[in-house]
Amino acid sequence: MAGHSKWANIKRQKARVDAVKGKIFAKMSREIIVSARTGGPDPDGNFQLRTAIDKAKAAGVPNDNIERAIAKGAGQLGSENQLEAIRYEGYGPGGVAVLIEALTDNRNRTAADLRAAFSKVGGNLGETGCVGWMFAQKGVVTLAGPIDEDTLLEASLEGGAESYELTEIDEDTPGAEVLCAPTDLESLDGALKQQGYDVRQAELRWLSNNTVDVQDTDQARALLKLMDALEDLDDVQSVTANFEMAEDLMAASAA
């Protein structure tokens, strides 16, 4: 698949654009609020909150925003509407499977917004379970820097990893992604840090069990338009799809 962009690489490129848009600040603040509310406001005792804060800092979210989000989650800034985590599923153009994670205080509004985004490009929002079986949730620890595979393999196995893949963090930085069961993410993160690895991110991520290779320009353009429309929605935290496409096709379609 040389010359192709896997969804992780597509997401990485889109994340840089989203960061410029500033939309990422609000999404990450919501994630911090829910993490603090669920597991408490102390990052040392709340791994979910700790990783949300690390992700926010890496994206350039100001400390004031982070502290305010923690305070909101802890109920220190008065009452506010409760955010609910919901997973939505649907089909994009050409039958591509799309999985959406949202944090919302109004299910009806979120569903209506998602349905409108799908319908504009010929896709449709489906019932729960319609495409979920095509994905598996994994813990993913992203490492930056030159990687010796033998050393990484040994460290990963000690931390409870299932597999790893060498990748590029960005155009100038080599690295790797180490995968594990969701319940092993905290222990794997700690083990790799203890071995001296530069851990850039530890997160839960949906990975597709099968992929659709997009080769048609119109379909590629419609899919990228759908991904942008979904990720632009305030309630949406993450979008995962099971398509891959050649990098030149992606560049031409995004232009």
What tokens were used for 185? 């993410």
- Give every CB contact of residue 113 below 8 A, 6+ residues apart in sequence: 233, 235
Give the pLDDT band (50/70/90) at residue 25: confident
Residue 2 confidence (pLDDT):
41
The domain 4-73 is placed in CATH, from the list 3.40.50.300, 1.10.10.200, 3.20.10.10, 3.30.700.30, at 1.10.10.200
Rounded Cα distance between 204 and 101, Å, is: 11
- In angstroms, rounded to a whole number, what is the distance separating the alpha carbons of residues 187 and 83? 28
- Strand 243-246 and strand 212-214: the pairing is parallel
Q: What pLDDT was estimated at residue 245?
A: 87
**58 confidence band (pLDDT: 50, 70, 90):** confident
C-alpha span between 97 and 20 (Å, rounded): 27
pLDDT digits (tens, 9 = 90+) for 211-237: 999 999 999 999 999 998 998 898 998
Spell out the domain ranges in the chain.
4-73
**DSSP string for 117-147:** HHHTTT-EE--TTTTGGGEEEEEEEEEES--
pLDDT digits (tens, 9 = 90+) for 138-181: 999 999 999 999 999 999 998 999 999 998 877 778 999 999 99
Which tops the pLDDT comparison, 101 or 249?
Answer: 101
Across 227-248, average pLDDT? 89
